[in-house]
Structure formats: C-alpha cells, structure tokens
Structure 1
Amino acid sequence: MTSEANVTAEQPNYRFIGGMMFLLLLLAGIVYGAWAIKVWAEDEQKAPVRDIALSGDLRFVKQSEIQSLIRKTQPGSFFELDVEQAHQDIENLPWVYRASIRKRWPNSLKIYVLEQTPAAKWNNDLVLNQYGDVFAGDLAKGVTPPQLPSLFGPGGSEHTALEGYNSMQALLASAGMSIDELFLSERFAWHLRLVNGINLNLGRNEYIARLQRFIDLYPLLKKNERAVDYVDLRYDTGLAVGWKSPEQPTQES
C-alpha cells in the first residue's frame, strides 16, 4: 500500500496544470486584446471622424466651413478628439453665437449651431448682433445682409448706439419712415440719416422728444415745394430746416 501511495503522489496533477495554463492564456489574451484596442483607437486611419452632421437654422455658417475646421484642428482619431476644444473653435467662428457638439459612436460628430442675428453694420467693417455685441461679419465678402442699417460711433458705445437706434426706429416706423445711417459722436450727440435722404441733428439730450417733434411737424415740411435736406432739432422749441437745391436729387418718403 505504501509503494502505491508514493507512485500516486509522484504523478503530476494534470487538472491543476491545465487550469493554470488556461488562466495564463486567458490573461495573455486580455492583455493582448487591451493592447490591440489601444493601438486601434490611436490609429486615426482605423478610427477617424467620418461623419460630421451640422444642424440649426443656418444662413451664414456653411457645412464645409465646420468640416474644414474640425479636420484641421482635430486631425487625430475619433477617441482622441477633444470635444471642449472643438466646441471652443466652433464658437470662435464669426457667425456662430452658440454651439453644442457631441460624439456619436462609432465615428460621428453631431454639431448644433445657433447663428448670430445681425442687427446693424458697425463702423463699416463690423456687425452688431441683437444684443449689441460686435463681431466680424465678412462685410468685404458681401456676407452681411445689405438691408441692415449702418451705425457709427466710438469704441465701447455699441450697446448705446443700438439701443438708441431701436428706440428711434420704432418711433419713426409709426410715421412710415426708417433710419438708413446713425452717427453717435464722441460726445454722444445723435445724428440720423433717414432712408428718404433727410438728415436729422438731434443733439445729446432729449433726442426721443426731439425726434417726436420732427415727426409731428414733418407733414407741414412736406408741403414745401423744395425737398428737405436737413433738420436741426437742437432747440428747446422749434427747429431749423435746410432745403435741397433744385439740382439735388430727392428721395421719396
């Protein structure tokens, strides 16, 4: 009995050895799989951003512009793409007011863009949005709608100029007139050029009341045979009128 027990003890435990080998192979497979996934994820040729979907009510921002920006600033793989940086880059585009971006497995980007709403041209080379914020609108390329009014003023007066324009335009619209150009001087004096060609000098103070005075008296001014060139309203009462010469072209009110 003793010799048989010794022989049995000396025989290898194949079940244990087989289990260990299986465990080692399993671990090796897991390590290799993790390494292979890492290499695949880092290889932009195997996991690039293939589809960039742009949505929103867009008139000025082009799909090609967004795609070109992403390809240029985020040349890596889908997994390496920095969403925060891409979001910032998109919002830095002139006509983008707000944007959102998210990844969609396995290789897509979903981008929503809220465009700037242009309210006026500013100093001939910039644009104001509806909040009075200034942005570059590619005026030289004819991107900005031509029907926008032109506002002029010193730096830092953008909000004041737009607020004044909105107030005065609402008042003039009730009389069937509109502003073509608005000038705000360094001393914050207001000057308007209307679409009908009349120039209004409103001064610094009580410009809304002075504009109302012009509206009230304009029907009388129109009865004159000569067309109105300018109206100076910088008086407590009354106004001064300059008339166009017969050679000067006139515009309909």
Structure 2
Amino acid sequence: MLHKLKQVKISKWISFFIFVVLIYAVQSTFFKLKNWLTDEQSLPLTSLILTGERLHITEQVVTDVLVEQENRLNFFTVEIAEIQKKLEDKPWVYSASIRKHWPDTLKIHIVEQTILASWNQKALLNRFGEIVDVVPSEKDHYVALYGEDEKSEEVLNTYVQLNQLLKPSQYRIASLSSDKRNSSELVLKNGITLKLGKEQKLERIQLFLKAFPRIAKKYEIKTVDYIDLRYDTGLAIGWKKDTAK
C-alpha cells in the first residue's frame, strides 16, 4: 500500500514537472516568435509602390516620411495610421491610402489637391473651397479670390457660378473679391471691374452680358474702368482717368 502511494506521488511530481516544462517551452516559443515578427530585420518592408497622379509629391517626399518610422518598418509593426497622417499633413496631399502586401511591400496611393484658385495672394483653394497652405508662385495662372477665410467655400461657389455664366462669352474672370457684408466685386481679364453688390449677382452678370455689347459699340473698351450693376434698373459706367465721357 505504501509502495503504491509513493508511486502516485512520484507520478504527480513528474506530471507537474512536465507541465512546467511545457509552459516554459510555449512561453519561450511565443516570445521568440513575437521578437521575430517585430524585428525589422526579420520581415522588413523593402519595396514601395507609389500610385496616383502627382505633380508636387515626389517619391522622395514619401520616402522621407517612411524613414521617420526608423526601426518600425516591419510588415507587422509599421504604423499605417501614423504614416497616413504625416502624408496628409503635407499641403499638396488631399488624401493618402496605404496597404501592405505580403511579404515586404507597402503600397501608397496619393491624391493631390485639385487647385481652382489662389486665395488672398497667400494661399490656394482646392475644389471644395478648402484653404491649402501653399503660397502661389508667379508662374501660377489661377483666378485670384479674396475674402475672409471662414467664407472661402462661399466665395469659391460664387466664382464657379459666375464663371459658368461668362463661359459662352469672350469675358474671363481675373479676380473676385467679397467683403464682410458679402458684397462682391469682379475684375475681368480685360481690366474692367464689375461691381455686383450683395444680391442678385447672377442676374447682374446677365444684365452685363446683354448691355456690354452695346456699350462696346459706342465706346472704346479700354476707356471703361468699371461698371456698377448694383442698381435696381440699369447700370452706371465709370471711366478711366483722362478718358471721361
């Protein structure tokens, strides 16, 4: 009987020892696997596929962002959200989408800003009326828009509507400004200023399109300084200095 009890105790100790060894082996294997998976040298990202139409964002710009990841450029540890944020913080980047492709490739698709106008001569406006923190250069040929920053989208929408009305004609917009009262003033590329006021801007442009051909027949266009369309009926012409009629 005593012999059997000893055998049972020995068996329990052996089982416990085997259990401890197994736990240690599993834990050791887990940590080794974890270290291997998170080691940049084990599964490094060595290939970059960059897509999207780009005029301002070069591959070097993207590479510089990736380099900031330092020892995290591993297939499992790379911070996709962080890379995306840093890319989208670039003024010329509207959006960036990033995907990993096994085993060593990072695919990044860049959508650049679509610029429609310059803004207050110190920034640009994208197609949504959002301010892009890029100073316009002299070689840019964007229409010049002016106004308060919080009204940038509204000013752009006004420009788009007015430009649509003027498209069939020979007249092109050089600049459009809007003050705090939402009163607009438009300058054509021929140098003539159109004072539109706060209301009925589209109707006033239509009035200009009807009336100006008759004005052009009677007077030299280069003598016209501005046309004030803020009247309920009719308009007023302002003449350039030394050419007043």
With structure 1 as the length reference, what TM-score do the two structures score? 0.77
Aligned length: 222
Unaligned runs of at least 5 residues, structure 1: 1-20, 248-253
Aligned-residue sequence identity (percent) comes to 33
Q: Which residue of 1 aligns with 2:65?
A: 69
Q: Which residue of 2 aligns with 1:95?
A: 92
Q: Which residue of 2 aligns with 1:178?
A: 172
Q: Is 1:60–2:56 an aligned residue pair? A: yes
Q: Which residue of 2 aligns with 1:51?
A: 47
Q: Which residue of 2 aligns with 1:168?
A: 162
> How far apart are residue 51 of structure 1 and its match?
1.8
- 1:118–1:56 distance in 2 versus 1, CA, 3 Å: same
- 1:145–1:95 distance in 2 versus 1, CA, 3 Å: farther
**Structure-2 separation of matches of 1:92 and 1:135:** 11
**Structure-1 separation of matches of 2:130 and 2:139:** 17
Contact 1:103 1:110 in 2 (8 A): yes
- 1:145–1:132 distance in 2 versus 1, CA, 3 Å: farther
AA of the residue aligned to 1:233: L
AA of the residue aligned to 2:236: A
**Structure-1 separation of matches of 2:71 and 2:142:** 38
> How far apart are residue 77 of structure 1 and its match?
3.3
Residue 231 of structure 2: SS of its match in structure 1?
A: coil
Contact 2:72 2:79 in 1 (8 A): no
CA-based RMSD of the aligned residues comes to 2.7
**Structure-1 separation of matches of 2:238 and 2:169:** 21
Residues 58-86 of structure 1: CA distance to partner in whole angstroms, max 9, x if unpaired? 22222111111121146413121111222
Contact 1:74 1:81 in 2 (8 A): no
> How far apart are residue 31 of structure 1 and its match?
6.2
Contact 1:153 1:161 in 2 (8 A): yes
Residue 139 of structure 1: SS of its match in structure 2?
A: coil
Q: Is 1:86–2:80 an aligned residue pair? A: no
Contact 1:43 1:77 in 2 (8 A): no
2:131 to 127, 131, 134: 134
| Runs of 4+ with >6 A deviation | none
Question: Structure 1 stretch 33-42 or stretch 81-90: which is displaced more?
Answer: 33-42
**Structure-1 separation of matches of 2:69 and 2:176:** 40
Contact 1:169 1:178 in 2 (8 A): yes
Q: Is 1:114–2:108 an aligned residue pair? A: no
> How far apart are residue 201 of structure 1 and its match?
0.8
Contact 1:52 1:111 in 2 (8 A): yes
Residues 86-115 of structure 1: CA distance to partner in whole angstroms, max 9, x if unpaired? 222222222222221111222221011222
With structure 2 as the length reference, what TM-score do the two structures score? 0.80
AA of the residue aligned to 2:53: D
**Structure-2 separation of matches of 1:108 and 1:32:** 30
1:202 to 175, 196, 200: 196
**Structure-2 separation of matches of 1:109 and 1:184:** 45
**Structure-2 separation of matches of 1:226 and 1:188:** 28
AA of the residue aligned to 2:111: L
**Structure-2 separation of matches of 1:77 and 1:156:** 40
Question: Structure 1 stretch 156-165 or stretch 216-225: which is displaced more?
Answer: 216-225
Residue 170 of structure 2: SS of its match in structure 1?
A: coil
- 1:49–1:156 distance in 2 versus 1, CA, 3 Å: same
**Structure-1 separation of matches of 2:29 and 2:139:** 56
Contact 2:69 2:78 in 1 (8 A): no
- 1:124–1:187 distance in 2 versus 1, CA, 3 Å: same
- 1:92–1:74 distance in 2 versus 1, CA, 3 Å: farther
**Structure-1 separation of matches of 2:163 and 2:59:** 35
- 1:145–1:66 distance in 2 versus 1, CA, 3 Å: farther
